Amino acid sequence: MKQSNPLPGGEIALFQTPDGQILLDVHLERETVWLTQAQMVELFGRDQSVISRHVRNVFAEGELPTEGNMQKMHIPFSDKPVIYYSLDVIISVGYRVKSLRGTQFRIWATRTLRDHLVQGYTLNERRLREKGLTEMEEAVRLLARTLSAHELVNYQGRAVLDVVTRYARSWRLLLQYDENRLPESPVHPTRPVAGLSSDESRRAISALKQALMAKGEATALFGQERGSALDGILGSIEQTFGGEALYPSVETRAAHLLYFIIKDHPFSDGNKRIGSFLFLLYLDRNGLSIKPDGTPRFANNALVAVALLVAESDPAHKELLIRLILNLLQDGGE
């Protein structure tokens, strides 16, 4: 049972021993619970001097650092701050005094903290979904502009800010992905002008393999085909039904090419890298690899993340993964 906490920055949970003899107001803050020495005296049934000595020894012997495990708090109707100790300290003292109530308290505190964190996460997630991500995106952009304008970060810091700012838009896509609300087709589809033949693909894969082996990043197994699976995948993305293309846009063909190569494992080794490589090659053949401002349409980090996501996904989620790739393409892979 929880009640309003008179202390700033936390909540109060009530702990009661199974025999009903001990009832404590336990302070929850910073993802842990806190008790005073006086409360530990009551909990463990030991003299103040005994509890005080064990607390000192916990810190003096280096079992725990004082930072993060001890804090002073002002309580109502008191002129002096009271020192509170974290759950780790409480557990250490409980072991030292060999208290059954200490074990009961540890079990209760662990369960209470878990419930508290889960409820807090659920509440924050609900608020985020209700409010949307616009405010967060604007805050990220404002932070990046302010720090850059006043030269408050170095070269590496500016690179990090750039990544954060560029990916702010993707967080909205990931929320839509999580809620299965992504559009099923590109908003502005691009008509294919060039396909990708089996021979061209094999030559490109061979060149990629040589480059990777020269850097020690691939073995002889890389790119070795398993039967005619590659031909089947390349043919499937160009197939028609009733005279109409099954995948009518460059975006849908490239997305399915990436998905099929990674999930169908047409090669003995290197399916994720080859799938990503052919995905970019297909976009390039159709003029979609570069955005109008001259930057790559699909950032490397985004492509790596998507490839891993496809590889780990349930086949039942295929259409959801395809929609995610399409939306990232539409949004410039950011």
| DSSP codes, 192-225 | ------HHHHHHHHHHHHHHHHHTT---TTBT-B
> What b/e readout covers 22-40, taking b as 16+ CB neighbours within 10 angstroms?
bebebbbbeebbbbbbebb
Backbone angles phi, psi at 17, to 5 degrees: -70, 155
Taking all residues of the chain, what is their mean pLDDT, rounded to a whole number? Answer: 76
pLDDT for the residue numbered 18: 76
Nearest C-alpha neighbor of 89 from the set 78, 81, 97: 97
What are residue 38's DSSP bridge partners?
none
List the chain domain ranges. 2-128, 132-178, 198-330
Residue with tokens 């993802």: 31
Residue 223 near residue 209, CB atoms below 8 Å: yes
Burial of 255 (0-12, 13-18, 19+ CB in 10 A): buried
From CA 27, how far away is CA 11, in angstroms rounded? 6
* 2-128 and 198-330, same CATH topology: no
What are residue 23's DSSP bridge partners?
16
From CA 172, how far away is CA 164, in angstroms rounded? 13
DSSP string, 218-257: --TTBT-B-TTHHHHHHHHTT-EETTEESS-SHHHHHHHH
pLDDT for the residue numbered 116: 63
Give the list of residues 6+ apart from residue 263 with CB closer than 8 angstroms, or none: 310, 311, 313, 315, 318
Nearest C-alpha neighbor of 201 from the set 275, 298, 264: 275
For the chain, list residues with pLDDT below 70: 1-11, 30, 75-79, 114-188, 301, 331-334
Structure pTM?
0.48
pLDDT for the residue numbered 253: 93
Residue 37 near residue 105, CB atoms below 8 Å: no
Name the packing angle between helices 37-44 and 100-131 (round to 10°).
Answer: 130
Nearest C-alpha neighbor of 102 from the set 153, 44, 169: 44
CATH class of 198-330: mainly alpha
pLDDT for the residue numbered 325: 83
pLDDT for the residue numbered 171: 53
pLDDT for the residue numbered 334: 44
From CA 295, how far away is CA 167, in angstroms rounded? 15
Q: Identify the CATH assignment for 2-128 out of 3.30.2020, 3.10.260, 3.30.420, 1.10.10.
A: 3.10.260
